Chain A
Amino acid sequence: MTGRLKVTAQLLALAGVAGLLALLVWKLAHQQHAPPVGSVAPAFTLRRLDGTGKVSLASYRGKPVVLNFWASWCQPCKGEAAVLEHDWTRYRSRGVEFVGVDYHDLAPDARRFVSAHTLTFPMLEDGSGRVTGSYGISQVPETYVLNRQGRIVAHLAGPITDPNFAGEFRSALAKAVA
Chain B
Amino acid sequence: MILRFLAVVAAALALAGPAAACAHPRTSLAYLEGQVMCPTCHTTLDQSDSAAAQQIESFISQKIAVCWTAQRIESKLVANYGQGILAAPSHKGFDLLAWWLPIAGVLGGALVLAVGVWRWSRRREPEDSDGPPGSGLDDETERRLDEVLARFD
Residues in chain A within 8 A of chain B (CB atoms) = 2, 9, 71-75, 104-107, 109, 127-130, 139
Contact = CB atoms under 8 A, between A and B. Distances in A.
A130 to B, nearest CB: 7
A138 to B, nearest CB: 8
A128 B51 contact: no
A107 B80 contact: yes
Contacts of A128: 81-82, 84
Contacts of A72: 55
B82 A73 contact: no
The B contact surface, by secondary structure, is helix
Contacts of B56: 106
B96 interface: no
B81 A74 contact: no
Contacts of B54: 73
- Most A CB within 10 A of own CB, among B51, B84, B112: B51
B55 A73 contact: yes
B59 interface: yes
Interface string B49-78: 001101110010000000000000000000
A139 B40 CA distance: 8
Interface string B98-138: 00000000000000100000010000000000000000000
B51 A73 contact: yes
Contacts of A104: 39-40, 52, 81
Interface residues of B, number: 14
A73 B52 contact: yes
Contact of A109 (B39, B55, B82): B55
- Report the 10 A-B pairs with minimum CB-CB distance, sorted nearest first: A128-B82, A104-B39, A73-B51, A73-B55, A127-B80, A127-B81, A73-B52, A104-B40, A104-B52, A106-B59
Contacts of A75: 51
B80 A106 contact: yes
Contacts of B119: 2
A74 B39 contact: no
A9 B112 contact: yes
A71 B56 CA distance: 13
9 contacts: A71-B51, A72-B55, A75-B51, A104-B40, A104-B81, A106-B80, A127-B82, A128-B82, A129-B81
Contacts of B39: 104, 129
Given A9-B112, A104-B81, A127-B82, 17 more contacts: A73-B52, A73-B54, A73-B55, A74-B51, A75-B51, A104-B39, A104-B52, A105-B52, A106-B56, A106-B59, A109-B59, A127-B81, A128-B81, A128-B84, A129-B82, A130-B82, A139-B40
B35 to A, nearest CB: 17
Nearest to B119: A2
A56 to B, nearest CB: 19
A127 B55 CA distance: 13
